[in-house]
Amino acid sequence: MGAPSRAPSPAGLGRRLAVELIGTFWLVFAGCGTAVLSARFDDIGAGLLGVALAFGLALLTAAYAFGHISGGHFNPAVTVALWLGRRTRAADVVPYVLVQVVAALAAAAVLLAVAEGRAGFSLDREGLATNGYGTDSPGGYNLGAALLVESVLTAVFALVVLGATDLRAPRGTGPLAIGLTLTVIHLVSIPVTNTSVNPARSTGPALVAGGAALSQLWLFWVAPMIGAVAAGIGYRYVTGGTGTVEAAAEAQDVDDRPG
């Protein structure tokens, strides 16, 4: 979940966007799918722990599969944090974010189609693992609590991403640390907001479900971006972090050639 190492060709960018699409789709479908389809399945449902593990394991597997191609962002907040941390190029930010949102929307649409295959399913009653605060918070937490937890946990998550992908970090262990961090984050904040720390993850289900989830969506862009900015800027100054695009070009041999 770092950054590509050399200036990409148009074909190289296309490949990276393709795997960002696949990885983000998998993250949102696996995580939200566990929450919608199996978390409350009779007496053997996955529960809160299962949902947390689903998000963490989906990210871990996607990062191992695709991180060496696209950097494995799968999250607009991570993309912004890596850009501010000088790990990814400014020109890549908008394309990455757009693809991540499209992927999350596609995942939510597929999830709804599956969920509607069960007799008696009601989108209004059961939802689509959307994020919310106040009456739409799983635990009834207010706007202030939601803003605080999403900002802080996104900052922590982004710091782990930056640290785990630093050139000084042990090689090959980054996805494991990042996936486990996302699991812990869900254990903390599912009761508060149903856990976002990822604006794309919030946007896909909100656009499909509509209603209160859509009206509250602003928070799940603002709070994660606050955390991303704090982490992206702070990491370089607090740790003297390395791993910039230029440094990575010297340390790695990532193939961005057309083909």
Sign of CA dihedral 86, 92, 94, 95: negative
Residue 135: burial class (beta carbons within 10 Å; 0-12, 13-18, 19+) = exposed
pLDDT of residue 43: 63
> What six digits make up the tokens of 56?
């963490």
CA–CA separation, 75 vs 99, rounded Å? 10
pLDDT of residue 10: 38
CA–CA separation, 240 vs 243, rounded Å? 10
CA–CA separation, 48 vs 50, rounded Å? 5
Domain borders along the chain are 10-118+129-251
Residue-level length of the chain: 259
Helix %, strand %, coil % of the chain (to 5): 70, 0, 30
Identify the architecture of domain 10-118+129-251 in CATH: Up-down Bundle (1.20)
Residue 108: burial class (beta carbons within 10 Å; 0-12, 13-18, 19+) = buried
> What six digits make up the tokens of 70?
């696209």
**For residue 173, which phi and psi values (nearest 5 degrees)?**
-100, -5
**pTM, entire model:** 0.88
pLDDT along the chain (259 residues), means of 10: 39 88 98 89 74 97 94 96 93 97 98 93 90 96 98 98 89 93 98 98 97 96 98 87 48 36
CA–CA separation, 29 vs 27, rounded Å? 6
Contact 21, 105 (CB under 8 A): no
pLDDT of residue 15: 93
pLDDT of residue 106: 98
